[in-house]
């Protein structure tokens, strides 16, 4: 089969026409104002009436009879306790303990823990009613023994 070549065509436009630009003139006229008008305000005549005076009234105050109540002073029991615990997990290296006693205002106790370098920190504390005091000790931990080489 044979096919004919496609044909293309473009629209035919008329040639452009140029002309001189036209000049437009503007006209101006001033504002047209209406003539001023004035009229006096119309006020109503003043109205006066006598003031109304009310007679003051007095009644005795109504007071409730005084009520007397006893206040209850809350009493606190004498605080007293003692506790302690110890954790020794050699697999994870978690070794720490704590113990504490209280008798009224007097608190004392201590806690200990293994530091990263293997040493053991022991903190002893006490309070005799005037604030806590602490004494910190650092004890050497168990020394690791390394096998001697045989040469």
Confidence at residue 66, expressed as pLDDT on a 0 to 100 scale: 85
- pLDDT for the residue numbered 151: 59
Q: What is the Cα–Cα distance from 95 to 120, expressed in whole angstroms?
A: 9
φ/ψ (deg, to 5) at 13: -105, 150
Give me the CATH topology for the region 80-139.
Answer: Nuclear Transport Factor 2; Chain: A, (3.10.450)
Nearest of 115, 113, 111 to residue 95 by alpha carbon? 113
pLDDT confidence tier of residue 138, bands split at 50, 70 and 90: very high
pLDDT at res. 101: 96
Q: What is the pLDDT of residue 67?
A: 84
Q: What is the pLDDT of residues 59-100, one digit of tens each?
A: 888 888 888 888 877 777 889 999 999 999 888 888 899 999
Q: Say what percent of the chain tops pLDDT 70.
A: 93
Beta strands in 11-119 (DSSP E): 80-89, 94-103, 106-114
Residue with tokens 């506790």: 83
For residue 115, pLDDT over 80 is answered with yes
Query: What is the distance between the alpha carbons of residues 115 and 121, in angstroms, rounded to a whole number?
Result: 7
For residue 81, the Cα-to-chain-centroid distance in whole angstroms is 39
């Amino acid at each position: 089969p044979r096919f004919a070549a496609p044909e293309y065509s473009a629209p035919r436009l008329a040639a452009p026409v140029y002309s001189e630009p036209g000049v437009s003139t503007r006209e101006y006229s001033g504002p047209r104002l209406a003539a001023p008008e004035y009229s006096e305000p119309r006020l109503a005549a003043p109205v006066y009436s006598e003031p109304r005076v009310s007679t003051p009234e007095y009644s005795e105050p109504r007071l409730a009879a005084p009520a007397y109540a006893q206040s209850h002073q809350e009493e606190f029991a004498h605080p007293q306790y003692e506790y302690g615990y110890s954790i020794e997990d050699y697999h994870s290296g978690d070794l720490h303990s704590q113990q504490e006693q209280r008798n009224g205002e007097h608190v004392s106790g201590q806690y200990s823990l293994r530091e990263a370098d293997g040493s053991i920190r022991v903190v002893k504390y006490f309070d005799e009613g005037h604030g806590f005091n602490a004494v910190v000790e650092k004890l050497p931990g168990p020394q690791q023994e390394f096998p001697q080489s045989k040469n």
